């Protein structure tokens, strides 16, 4: 049988409908006439294991004769090996799919192997850590000091030296405490990764944070656990500084007030005296709402969500105000009593940032900050340095420690002091379950003694 030609196919007419065309090599065509005109459906006829078979190999003119013959050759190659062409095609498709799957798997493996410190941080912040501020400070810290340096570093290549470079960059700014906090946060993130896939597989050489000795980076005189207390003389000095700043500023000519040292805001003064006389944390105080302060009964309620927890645990706290502490709240009431919050922000619908007072006190002890230049919009003086700086910087939290120590000196038992500080107490779960005495009487007495002790050191800051 001669080979079919294009001319033969083009010469077909409607009268050839149903006609069979053949070509050597098992090509068989059947002429069809329809709405699309004349077409020829081709099949490849062959025998496999003694059985006559056929497979479609294309339709002319959609497929050219060259394409139809190439399709036939592909099928004939399978038949010559005793393989069913359909099965061969299926196997080829499976093989191709397997190849694609292998390529994808390899790409995913490489992507997993090259997951970066930034990838880990994003997953850890989303699923592995929950701070009271919604992780806002954690994200700010890492975006400022960690991710710009090592964020794009593959985790599998992270080394001790990489972490040291991050911590050293912070230390150059003189921020010992920030170095410690950052080291702890990085360590927490990497310990979380050690226990989970795919991260643990990337840390085949171990957790590099365990090799970092942060003490080698800190100043020799830096103490991680602060023990600063304010002496009675320093408490009096602080009162006198407040008065002197107000007096000196008021005496300045109008044209010099802008450049003069401003007095400490009365709200901040109240906050400091309340911290000293109630042992509260400054952050808890700055979140306080007037609806939780009863000036008639002399009580202040701190709901659990506003307290600092330990390992995710928090508890409500009831403060029974001494006459001294009550006087400070009454002074504050004159300042902010028209707002929901005791220490409102500018829009008065929220409280100020919980670090506001700590920053202000630190800014007025600039000799301890090692800053190359003043921060924009911040104080930059030594107006709140006590004891001429011989006893180092002091912070609002030191007032809490000072008040607790005063209580101890007054003979208050340690467990009552812990309760006045709202510490989460340990002990038997059975004991905690059955013993529910609230120690209100004992705490009231402890705060009363502390208030009286402060009043003997200095005169009341404000009368009701």
- Long-range contacts, stretch 198-201, CB < 8 angstroms, 24+ apart: 198/112, 198/115, 199/115, 199/120, 199/155, 201/112
Place of tokens 């944070």: 209
Residue 106 belongs to some domain of the structure: no
Together in a domain, 139 and 278: no
pLDDT value of position 222? 65
CATH code for the domain in which residue 41 is found = 3.30.160.390
Together in a domain, 181 and 265: no
| CA distances from residue 264 to 221, 261, 384 in whole angstroms, order as listed | 29, 9, 9
Q: What letter would DSSP give residue 349?
A: S
Provide the domain count of the chain.
3
Together in a domain, 384 and 261: yes
Residue 190 belongs to some domain of the structure: yes
Together in a domain, 415 and 289: yes
Show pLDDT as tens, one digit a residue, over the chain (464 residues). 678 889 989 999 999 999 999 988 888 999 999 888 999 999 988 888 878 888 898 999 999 999 999 988 888 888 888 888 777 777 778 888 887 777 777 766 666 678 999 999 999 999 999 887 889 999 999 999 999 999 999 999 999 999 999 999 999 888 888 999 999 999 999 999 999 988 988 888 889 998 888 888 887 666 666 788 999 999 999 999 999 999 999 999 988 877 789 999 999 999 999 999 999 999 999 999 999 999 999 999 999 888 876 555 678 999 999 999 999 999 999 999 999 999 999 988 899 999 999 999 999 999 888 776 778 888 889 999 999 999 889 999 999 999 999 999 999 999 999 999 998 765 555 445 444 567 899 999 999 999 999 999 987 555 44
At 195, phi and psi to the nearest 5? -100, 0
Together in a domain, 73 and 156: no
Walk across the sheet containing 317-320 and list its strands: 293-294, 299-302, 317-320
CATH code for the domain in which residue 197 is found = 1.10.150.130
Together in a domain, 122 and 176: yes
Together in a domain, 390 and 307: yes
pLDDT value of position 464? 40
pLDDT value of position 430? 47
Residue 222 belongs to some domain of the structure: no
| CA distances from residue 12 to 7, 18, 319 in whole angstroms, order as listed | 9, 11, 104
Q: In terms of C-beta density within 10 A (0-12 exposed, 13-18 middle, 19 or more buried), how is residue 235 classed?
A: buried
Together in a domain, 182 and 240: no
Place of tokens 């360590």: 187
Residue 93 belongs to some domain of the structure: no
Domain range holding 435? 232-457
Residue 95 belongs to some domain of the structure: no
Residue 26 belongs to some domain of the structure: yes
Together in a domain, 320 and 376: yes
CA-wise closest residue to 60 among 85, 87, 31: 31
Return d(Cα 161, Cα 196) in angstroms, integer.
24
Q: What letter would DSSP give residue 265?
A: P
Together in a domain, 211 and 257: no
Q: What letter would DSSP give residue 209?
A: G
pLDDT value of position 111? 63
CATH code for the domain in which residue 311 is found = 1.10.443.10
pLDDT value of position 99? 77
Place of tokens 């304010």: 230
Together in a domain, 253 and 326: yes
Residue 94 belongs to some domain of the structure: no
Entry pTM:
0.60
Residue 317 belongs to some domain of the structure: yes
Together in a domain, 144 and 61: no
Are the C-beta atoms of 151 and 118 separated by less than 8 Å? Answer: yes
């Amino acid at each position: 049988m001669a080979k079919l030609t294009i001319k033969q196919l083009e010469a077909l007419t409607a009268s050839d409908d149903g006609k069979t065309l053949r070509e050597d090599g098992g090509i068989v065509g059947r002429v069809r006439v329809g709405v699309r005109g004349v077409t020829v459906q081709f099949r490849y006829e062959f025998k496999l294991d003694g059985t006559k078979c056929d497979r479609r190999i294309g339709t002319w003119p959609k497929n050219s004769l060259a394409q139809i013959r190439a399709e036939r050759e592909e099928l004939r190659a399978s038949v010559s090996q005793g393989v069913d062409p359909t099965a061969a095609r299926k196997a080829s498709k499976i093989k191709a799919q397997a190849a694609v799957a292998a390529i994808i798997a390899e790409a995913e493996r490489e992507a997993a192997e090259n997951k970066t410190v930034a990838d880990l941080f994003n997953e850890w912040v989303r699923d592995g850590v929950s701070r009271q501020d919604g992780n806002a400070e954690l994200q700010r810290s890492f975006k400022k000091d960690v991710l710009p340096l090592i964020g794009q570093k593959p985790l599998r290549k992270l080394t001790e030296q990489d972490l040291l470079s991050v911590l050293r960059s912070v230390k150059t700014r003189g921020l010992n405490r920030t170095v410690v906090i950052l080291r702890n946060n990085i360590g927490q993130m990497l310990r979380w990764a050690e226990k989970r896939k795919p991260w643990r597989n990337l840390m085949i050489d171990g957790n590099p944070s365990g090799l970092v000795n942060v003490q080698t980076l800190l100043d020799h005189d830096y103490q991680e656990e602060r023990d600063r207390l304010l002496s009675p003389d320093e408490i009096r000095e602080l009162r006198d500084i407040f008065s002197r700043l107000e007096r000196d500023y008021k005496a300045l000519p109008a044209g010099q007030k802008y450049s003069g040292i401003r007095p400490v805001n009365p709200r901040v003064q109240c906050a400091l005296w309340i911290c000293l006389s109630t042992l509260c944390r400054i952050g808890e105080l700055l979140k306080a709402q007037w609806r939780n302060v009863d000036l008639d009964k002399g009580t202040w309620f701190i709901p659990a969500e506003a307290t600092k927890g330990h390992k995710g645990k928090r508890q409500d706290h009831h403060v029974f105000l001494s006459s001294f502490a009550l006087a400070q709240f009454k002074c504050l009431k004159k300042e902010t009593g028209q707002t929901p919050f005791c220490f409102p922000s500018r829009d008065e619908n929220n409280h100020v940032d919980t670090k506001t007072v700590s920053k202000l006190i630190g800014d007025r002890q600039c000799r301890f900050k090692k800053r190359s230049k003043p921060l924009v919009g911040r104080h930059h003086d030594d107006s709140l340095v006590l004891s001429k700086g011989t006893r180092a910087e002091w912070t609002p939290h030191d007032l809490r420690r000072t008040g607790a120590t005063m209580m101890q000196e007054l003979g208050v038992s340690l467990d009552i002091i812990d309760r006045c500080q709202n510490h989460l107490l340990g002990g038997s779960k059975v004991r905690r379950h059955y013993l529910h005495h609230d120690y209100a009487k004992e705490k009231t007495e402890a705060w009363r003694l502390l208030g009286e002790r402060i009043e003997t050191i200095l005169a009341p800051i404000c009368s009701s």
